[in-house]
């Protein structure tokens, strides 16, 4: 194997499949960013693309591209590590490849229909074939069924491979988490006239994915990643993983209650949701401790600097975005005024980025290193400015955007909610205040900065390691 050359054939079958998932993930990441820019610009110039690609369409593609590419990133990461972890080849490679293509074609059709057809008559047909009209899970029902079938095929491959090979703590948590993740999707696959009931189950999918099962999946990926980049002993990462599962599910499952404050559900959710969701940052603090401790314990001796940097970014990003930004507005006394304002948008942006984008990018760097024949990716890397600049631009852009949206959210909570009493006139009063308008400009600017960072990142993922002849640093002690 020659360091520095792309050597696809040297990868295991599961890892080759993972590369395909990562390629689609990155393409959708770019799409997410571009549609985000369009939507952000419409805040500043509402006439822009009015009646052609309206805000609701841009915003739907923006958030759906995100959900799908993060899932692609997770699935890719799992396929990357499953054979290594189980010690045997994938049980159903052919099925796994078919699943990838079916899923990808389905995603493409859904996006084209979103953009071209956009909406339909007010009946079940539209919900089945065009758009379900429920934020984050807009995918029409036919696609829901396809997604579930694909997830079942993926689950068969992952669980089957562990069954044939060997189990580990990471394997056990991963398999159980996949069952929960796929099973929860069913909660979003029905229609009811009753809006509170609709939103009750809708949150089962959104919250129990994003604030519970996805976090645990990330814990599994992080555990494996730390073993690879820092040579952290398996016993340590597995113990930490169990601690994280206990803390994450211990707080996150009932933390679901913070979405049940204002949707018609009983008053006890104010207490249950407020209390448990206030505990949700604890596992995220634990993750920071874990990452910092491990990095320090190994004196930052890493064979993959970009991956380690993104893993550390993940630990802090998850804590700040999901933990701190979530905690700020999770108590009902505060949430009464911040619910449904730009405050939520601020939290959403930093949380998804800090908790999920970072870990997937880290993982892709781990994969690229192998793909380039275990090339050198430590100090003095040729073209090393690219990963540093992309990391910096993406983070400065995201933090700037988050703060801009937070200022807009403060202003909106104050002017529209606290003073204006949430009427439509109060809403627009809030939207026209200089603080709000300026914040939208800042958000746009930082969004452009992020996009520049993403372009450099994509170039770097294609180029990193090219021309290097040194082999990866050994972590042996």
Give the footprint of another protein on residues 37-76 (CB under 8 A): 39, 42-43, 46-47, 50-51, 54-57, 59-60
Residue 242 binds to another protein (criterion: CB under 8 A): yes
CA–CA separation, 81 vs 261, rounded Å?
Answer: 40
When the beta carbons of 5 and 59 are compared against another protein, the nearer one is 59
Other C-beta atoms closer than 10 Å to the C-beta of 199 total 19
Site for another protein in 198-227 (CB under 8 A): 199-200
Other C-beta atoms closer than 10 Å to the C-beta of 5 total 16
Q: Are 102 and 146 in contact (CB under 8 A)?
A: yes
When the beta carbons of 329 and 390 are compared against another protein, the nearer one is 329
CA–CA separation, 432 vs 428, rounded Å?
Answer: 6
When the beta carbons of 268 and 300 are compared against another protein, the nearer one is 268
- Contact flags string 329-368 toward another protein, x per CB under 8 A: ---x---xx-xxxx-xx-----------------------
Q: How far is the CB of 278 from another protein (least distance, A)?
A: 15
Strands (E), 46-172: none
**Which residue carries 């205040």 as its tokens?**
433
CA–CA separation, 344 vs 326, rounded Å?
Answer: 8
Question: Which part of the chain contacts another protein (CB under 8 A), choosing from 9-17, 121-129, 152-160, 221-229?
Answer: 121-129
Q: Are 323 and 288 in contact (CB under 8 A)?
A: no
3-state secondary structure 429-470: HHHHCHHHHHHHHHHHHHHHHHHHHHHHHHHHHHHCCCCCCC
Q: How far is the CB of 68 from another protein (least distance, A)?
A: 16
Q: How far is the CB of 61 from another protein (least distance, A)?
A: 10
Residue 123 binds to another protein (criterion: CB under 8 A): yes
Options 6, 243, 334, 458; binder of another protein; rule CB under 8 A = 243
Helix (H) or strand (E) holding 336: helix 332-338
When the beta carbons of 226 and 371 are compared against another protein, the nearer one is 226
Q: How far is the CB of 79 from another protein (least distance, A)?
A: 25
Tokens of 398: 């995201």
Residue 260 binds to another protein (criterion: CB under 8 A): yes
Question: Which part of the chain contacts another protein (CB under 8 A), choosing from 5-13, 29-37, 80-88, 189-197?
Answer: 189-197
Q: How far is the CB of 111 from another protein (least distance, A)?
A: 14
Options 93, 263, 278, 403; binder of another protein; rule CB under 8 A = 263
CA–CA separation, 251 vs 283, rounded Å?
Answer: 9
Query: Phi and psi at residue 324, in whole multiples of 5°?
Result: -70, -50
Site for another protein in 416-445 (CB under 8 A): 417-418, 421-425, 427-429, 431-432
Site for another protein in 161-180 (CB under 8 A): 169, 173
Q: DSSP letter string over 221-261? A: HHHHHHHHHH---HHHHHHHHHHHHHHHHHHHHHHGGGGSS
Residue 457 binds to another protein (criterion: CB under 8 A): no
Residue 232, CB half-sphere, CA atoms under 13 Å: how many?
A: 26
Q: Are 97 and 16 in contact (CB under 8 A)?
A: no
Other C-beta atoms closer than 10 Å to the C-beta of 471 total 15
Q: How far is the CB of 249 from another protein (least distance, A)?
A: 4
- Contact flags string 392-421 toward another protein, x per CB under 8 A: --------------------x----xx--x
Helix (H) or strand (E) holding 206: helix 195-208
Residue 474 binds to another protein (criterion: CB under 8 A): no
When the beta carbons of 310 and 343 are compared against another protein, the nearer one is 343
Cα separations in angstroms, 197 against 107, 194, 337:
28, 5, 23
Site for another protein in 271-330 (CB under 8 A): 272
Count of residues binding another protein (CB under 8 A)? 89
When the beta carbons of 380 and 421 are compared against another protein, the nearer one is 421
Q: How far is the CB of 251 from another protein (least distance, A)?
A: 9
């Amino acid at each position: 194997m020659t360091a520095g050359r792309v050597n696809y054939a040297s990868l295991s079958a599961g890892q080759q499949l993972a590369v395909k998932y990562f390629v689609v993930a990155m393409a959708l990441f770019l799409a997410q960013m571009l549609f985000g820019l369009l939507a952000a610009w419409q805040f500043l110039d509402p006439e822009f693309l009015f009646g052609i690609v309206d805000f609701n369409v841009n915003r739907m593609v923006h958030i759906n591209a995100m959900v799908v590419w993060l899932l692609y990133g997770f699935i890719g990461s799992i396929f990357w590590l499953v054979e290594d972890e189980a010690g045997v080849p994938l049980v159903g490679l052919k099925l796994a490849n078919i699943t990838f293509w079916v899923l990808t074609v389905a995603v493409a059709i859904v996006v084209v229909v979103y953009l071209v057809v956009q909406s339909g008559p007010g009946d079940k047909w539209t919900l089945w074939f065009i758009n379900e009209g429920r934020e984050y899970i807009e995918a029409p029902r036919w696609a829901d069924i396809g997604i579930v079938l694909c997830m079942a095929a993926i689950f068969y491959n992952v669980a089957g491979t562990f069954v044939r090979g060997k189990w580990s703590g990471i394997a056990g948590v991963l398999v159980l988490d996949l069952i929960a993740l796929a099973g929860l999707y069913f909660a979003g696959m029905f229609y009811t006239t009753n809006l509170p009931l609709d939103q009750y189950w809708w949150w089962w999918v959104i919250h129990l994915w994003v604030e519970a099962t996805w976090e645990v999946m990330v814990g599994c990926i992080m555990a494996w990643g730390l073993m690879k980049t820092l040579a952290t002993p398996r016993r340590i990462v597995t113990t930490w993983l169990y601690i994280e599962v206990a803390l994450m599910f211990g707080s996150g499952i009932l933390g679901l209650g913070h979405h049940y404050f204002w949707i018609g559900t009983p008053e006890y959710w104010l207490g249950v949701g407020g209390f448990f969701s206030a505990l949700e940052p604890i596992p995220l603090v634990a993750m920071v401790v874990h990452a910092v401790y491990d990095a320090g314990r190994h004196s930052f001796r890493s064979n993959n600097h970009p991956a380690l940097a993104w893993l550390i970014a993940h630990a802090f990003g998850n804590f700040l975005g999901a933990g701190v930004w979530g905690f700020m507005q999770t108590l009902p006394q505060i949430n009464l005024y911040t619910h449904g304002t730009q405050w939520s948008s601020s939290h959403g942006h930093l949380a998804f980025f800090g908790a999920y984008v970072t870990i997937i990018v880290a993982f892709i760097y781990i994969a690229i290193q192998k793909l380039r024949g275990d090339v050198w990716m430590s100090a003095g890397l040729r073209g090393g400015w690219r990963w540093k600049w992309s990391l910096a631009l993406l983070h400065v852009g995201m933090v700037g955007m988050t703060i801009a949206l937070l200022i807009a959210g403060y202003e909106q909570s104050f002017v529209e909610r606290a003073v204006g009493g949430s009427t439509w006139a109060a809403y627009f009063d809030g939207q026209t205040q200089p603080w709000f308008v300026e914040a939208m400009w800042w958000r746009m600017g930082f969004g452009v900065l992020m996009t520049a960072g993403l372009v450099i990142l994509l170039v770097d993922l294609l180029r990193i390691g090219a021309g290097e002849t040194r082999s990866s640093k050994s972590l042996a002690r």
